[in-house]
Structures are given as structure tokens and as C-alpha cells.
Amino acid sequence: MRSIGEMAQGSGLSVSALRFYDRAGVLVPAWVDPVSGYRWYAPGQLDEARLLARLRRAGMPLADIRLVLAGWVGADTDLVQQLLEAHLRRLERGLSDARGEFSTLRALLDDREKSMTPLRTATARPALASPELAAALDAVRFAAGTDPELPLLAGVLFDLEGDALRLVATDRYRLAVARVPVTGHGGPRVQVVVPLPLVDAMRALAGGPEPVRLAVDGDRVTLETGGGRQVAGQSLDHDFPDYLRLVHLPAGRRAVVDVAAFREAVREGPVRTGEVREEDGAVFDVSVIEAGADGTVHVCEDGTDGDGRVNGDGGVNGDGGRVAVNRAFLLDALDAGARDRLVLEFGAPTAPVAIRRPDDEDTFSLLMPVRLDA
């Protein structure tokens, strides 16, 4: 018999994924200790787990995977062959259709690029308060992308316009925005995407009492203090997505939460079926949260109307619509909010959840909702 940790190590599936596939009835342990709840797997189940991992990497739906696993050990493999071939045909049709659509989109994009002027060719030298820049970097850094296939998201947008510098970061699943007042900028709007190593160097330099100056000269970005210390580097040669289109959300229900109490409720929150999602090869836990009409937020219990309900004083009550989000991302956003109390704004279950500061509407983060596996 193998423990769940040994199964994870041998199969390539995480412990969280194995627990999910147990609850989903796809790969059920041979024995569960009735006292400790520990899962134990029979020797033959290691091959099933490896097969399951391959099928999931190939994007096969769970309904088909169940049948493949059920027919894999049988003498008649016709059904398994048919399921594999059917899924392969779906993938090939989808790829063919996608290639056609992407070819059209690339042609449209080429036409647009010829008629657009980038905002990253100008120069600027605004001054700003060092502590405010440090706080803004802390508020957005957690949301920056790390996917090597999307290098344009592996940085923070510095969007300078008028008397404000807006910092923006996103990895597609979350987005964070912060605003820093500036002086000495009377020119046109300037945008540069600062790579994460330079962002981290700026954060190490910022935070002191003396003001700092941000210098943008084409693709060269420099942050310097009044004492002559500076960090500099090249900006990324990419245009950042139009984040202003992403932050205008329909009006939703707002609730003020005590951050310490809510963070504990999320971290120790109840487990519900489908709390683990696989996306882009990653497995993550999902929290289902709900905003009540009485201004409360709670973490939902599976199959009930909710548990772990938290209001502004850490109390227990509330009711309302639900949304599922990546649990780790939610905890990151609560930490980046840097306040004892934060405002959570809920729209439709398919709309992002906004985490805002009560005293600063210009600094906030958005979390994309997660569709739970049935």
C-alpha cells in the first residue's frame, strides 16, 4: 500500500489533485483509515494515477477519463480505443478551427499595428514620494505574470499621465492597480513596462524619507534618490493590455471585512467538492465565498448555505450570491491590501471579485472567478 504522498511522488499528480480525484470518484483509494482519514492506495493504482495524469495533460474530460480507467484493465479495450480516438479527433478539429481563426486575427492585428503609435517612445522625469512608491509596488507586485510564454506580462506597467503614476500588473487570472501622485510631469502620456528584476530593485531602493525621481527616456527607465543612488534598466519591448477596459465592473454588492478574521476563515475554510482546479498544468485550491445582503462575507461549506461567516467584527452571519476564486490568490490580495479592513465587491458569479481599500479607491486588485468541476 502507498500513502498519498508516495502516490503523488510516483505519479506526477499533486496531493491536492489526488484528493480531488478521490472526491470526484475518479481515483478512489483502496483504503481510508477510519480514525486518521489517511488515504492508502493499492500497488496497481500507481499505474492508474500515471494514466490519469497523462489523460488530464491531454485535456480529456473527467467523464471520459472515468470510462478509460474502468476499461483499461479489461480484456476488451475497444471502448478505450474509441474514447482515445474520439478525443484526439476533437483536439484536431479544435486545433484546425483555432488555426483558421488565429490566422484571421493576426491579419487584423497587423492592420491595427500599422495605424497605432506606441506610448513608450516619450521622455519624462516626474518626482514622487518614496514611501508611496514603495507601497504601490507592494500593492501590485504579487499579480505580475511568470509565464514564459507571455513575457509582456512579466513586468509592471508604469502609466504616467497628468499628476499621477499608475502601476498595473496582471497574470490573466488577477490584476492589481495602484496610484502614486507625481509632480513635474507636464508632457504627454507615457507608458513603459518595467521588467520584474528592475521592479524589485526599485522596491529595494524606495521607501526612505527622501523623494525619488523616475526618469523615462525611450526604453531606458531609471529611479534615483536625492542622494544620488539609482537603479536603471531597459523596459520590455511590448505594449501592455488596455487595463482600463478591465477595471470597469458592473455595480455589485460590497462588504467590509476584518482582514485578520477573514484571512483565517479562508486559510482554514471548509473543503467542498471541486475545490481543486487544474489549469495550464497547475493544481490549486479554490475558496467559495459569499457576500450577504447584511454586509457580511463568509466561506461556504459544501452542500450548505455557508459556514465560517465573517463580518466586519469577525462575527458570524450573512447570506448572498457565491463566487469561487483561487484560494492562494485571495490570500495574496488580502496581504497586498495592507489594511486591517478591506472592501470586497461581488458582482455576478462570472465577474471578477474586487478587493479594495476603504480609504483609497485607486488601489485595488481583481480576482477572476473559477468554474468549479462538477
Q: CA separation (Å) from 62 to 42, 59, 236, 239?
A: 22, 9, 40, 38
**Residue 282: per-residue pLDDT:** 58
Rg (CA), the chain: 25
The segment with the largest mean pLDDT, out of 18-27, 73-82, 157-166, 314-323, is: 157-166
For residue 280, pLDDT over 70 is answered with no
Q: Does the structure show a pLDDT above 80 at 372?
A: no
- Quote the percentage of the chain above a pLDDT of 70: 86
pLDDT digits (tens, 9 = 90+) for 202-238: 999 998 888 899 999 988 999 999 888 999 999 998 7
- β-sheet bridge partners, residue 131: none
The whole-number average pLDDT for the span 291-300 is: 82
Q: In the Cβ-directed half-sphere of 287, how many Cα atoms lie within 13 Å?
A: 25
pLDDT for position 314: 33
- Which is nearest to 53 in space by CA: 99, 8, 83? 8
pLDDT of 30 reads 93
Q: Please count the CA atoms within 13 angstroms of the CA of 34 that sit on its side-chain side.
A: 0
Burial of 186 (0-12, 13-18, 19+ CB in 10 A): exposed
Over residues 327-340, the mean pLDDT reads 94
Return all residues near 178 (Cβ < 8 A) that are at least 6 apart.
135, 136, 137, 139, 140, 166, 167, 362, 363
Tell me the CA distances in angstroms from 308 to 28, 275, 297, 302, 305, one per residue in order.
29, 16, 9, 12, 11
Entry pTM: 0.71
Q: Is the pLDDT of residue 291 over 60?
A: yes
254 vs 297: CA distance, rounded Å: 9
